[in-house]
Amino acid sequence: MTPPTIDQTSPRRGQVIVLTGPPGAGKSTVARLLADRLTPGVHLHSDDFWHYIKRGRIAPYLPEAHQQNQVVLRVLVSAAFGYAEGGYQVICDGIVGPWFIDLFRATAGEQAVPLSYVVLRPNQRTTLERAAGRTGDALTDPDPIRSLHSQFSDLGVYESHVLDSTDLTAEATADSVLQGVARGLYLLGPSGSVADAGPSDGVTDADDPIHDS
């Protein structure tokens, strides 16, 4: 069966899809599949934006990295919506909890670009198993992965943006995301109950992002 696609080659503006979740959730694999099925498609891997800092980079999970992380997130947002303004379908994958989605939402409102927010959240056991099987410099340490999974465990008004991918392959997950985006299930606007929700109160470990690698 031919996988679903979205073909948007008209000169009107594109869209931004923020694909997030804990490390090991399969964000990057699914994002690559989505970018292949969207026309014209762009995949922004958020980890790369930290690695672009060649001297003076601070590990993003350290308290002293707060200012650096704010700068990097704003650059990422600018890049995502810059592509979208040119008509591209942008998938931005990375750890973007509710504590950071306001940066995307504000720009989406200013530029009138559709913004979808999708949280991949397999159960913790599956997440740890998938993370342990990754190679290269990907994060495999179970302690921070458990911490981040916990931070994504109760998202309040954003729970409707969660996709439980525990029993789904990457291809099936991409299919589900595309279907949900096409139906507007994950859409965030500048107004409305979800869009008006502010950053999570009491978030401590999540004040700055911890990227997957």
Q: Tell me, what's the pLDDT at 9? A: 46
Lowest mean per-residue pLDDT among 2-11, 41-50, 52-61, 111-120? 2-11
Nearest-angstrom CA–CA distance, 118 and 177: 8
The angle at the Cα of 173, spanning 43 to 91, to the nearest 5 degrees, equals 15
Nearest-angstrom CA–CA distance, 162 and 160: 6
Q: Residue 29 in contact with residue 35, Cβ under 8 Å?
A: no
* Average pLDDT across the chain, whole number: 84
Residue 127's CB is within 10 A of a number of other CB atoms, namely 26
Nearest-angstrom CA–CA distance, 170 and 59: 29
Q: Tell me the CA distances in angstroms from 128 to 29, 49, 146, 149, 158, one per residue in order.
A: 16, 25, 8, 9, 23
* Model confidence pLDDT, tens digit, residues 10-52: 456 799 999 999 988 999 999 999 999 999 999 999 999 999 9
Predicted TM-score (pTM) of this structure: 0.82
* Model confidence pLDDT, tens digit, residues 69-113: 899 999 999 999 999 999 999 999 998 988 889 999 999 999 999
Q: Residue 6 in contact with residue 37, Cβ under 8 Å?
A: yes
- Is the Cα torsion angle 198, 186, 46, 172 positive or negative in sign? positive
